[in-house]
Amino acid sequence: MIITVCAAFTLTQENNYGLARQKILFREIGHEILLYSGDSTSRVLPVQKIAENEYQIRFENEFTFQSNSLVKIISRTLAKENLSHNYVVNVLNCTGKDIIFGYAMADNVKDDIMPCSGRKQPKSCYVIDLKFQQKGFTTVQKGYSFAGVFLLAFMGLIISGPVKNRKQIAPANNTVKDGYQIGHTLFNPHKRQLITKEIIIELTAKETKLFQIFAGSPNAIIERSRLQKEIWEDEGVIVGRSLDVFISKLRKKLEHDHSIQLINIHGKGYKLNIDEATQVKKL
């Protein structure tokens, strides 16, 4: 109890520190977007707080962006601070009058709103507006909540002991034989591994078989019936929902590489979408 109360008041006093961290996180979003557009030198301007729970990211120079990649960058970065749900993103022109692209993310995936995905926007001056839903907790309440979670997590670690992390750091001289170079990711089907940004991500047997099919036919629609037959035919029973679950898990494991994306083609199947600047190479 003493630890929990002390932690709560410490978090209350450090509220400004948390806000500063969020602004740095938003600048990281700007940095990643510029890198993806090929700009590694121009500046991300200071983040502006324009209203309660609403911020704007501004840039020194014009840039271009691909809507799906922008969504991916923002979602992955916000997840670092548990901000990846219940927010709205609008990309405005620099006059602030016209919305060029926008979408909304919710706790429930079916409530997400994402029009005009997959479109590349021309080079221009853009402002990214991030608006988060007001949760209704006071800073003190958040302090008690976070401190309680921290205490429970600490007790859980004592009881359960160390847990093996499925993400490992790849050696600097890592090579893959009889695998694939897909975008910026190495795929090793024999070891059931994806290697992206020097991080090794383990795959299950079914995830490996599934991704090998996509790797063999990049940028092509793979029908659901083919995927179900080739992955589950040995089991005798095919459950339609199983494919969707494995696709979702595989998509999560590919989120570190902005150049590739596993997309749903409604009524047909799925496609491994790869940026034109990259390719699939058999190793």
d(CA 204, CA 252): 13
Query: What pLDDT tens digit does each residue of the chain (283 aa) get?
Result: 666 555 555 555 556 777 788 889 999 999 999 999 999 999 999 999 988 889 999 999 999 999 889 999 998 999 887 776 789 999 999 987 789 999 998 877 666 787 767 788 899 999 999 999 875 444 444 555 555 656 665 666 655 555 444 455 555 455 556 788 888 899 999 999 999 877 899 999 999 999 999 988 888 999 988 988 888 776 655 556 788 888 899 989 988 888 888 888 888 889 998 876 666 777 6
pLDDT of residue 47: 92
pLDDT of residue 134: 72
Which residue's structure tokens are 């004592």?
158
pLDDT of residue 106: 84
Write the CA distances from 270 to 21, 115, 121, 219, 243, integer angstroms: 38, 19, 24, 10, 10
pLDDT of residue 138: 44
**Domains along the chain with CATH numbers:** 2-132 (no CATH), 167-282 (1.10.10.10)
pLDDT of residue 29: 94
d(CA 179, CA 156): 39
Write the DSSP assignment of 171-197 as a string of letters.
PTT---SS-EEETTEEEETTTTEEEET
pLDDT of residue 1: 61
pLDDT of residue 164: 42
pTM to 2 decimals? 0.46
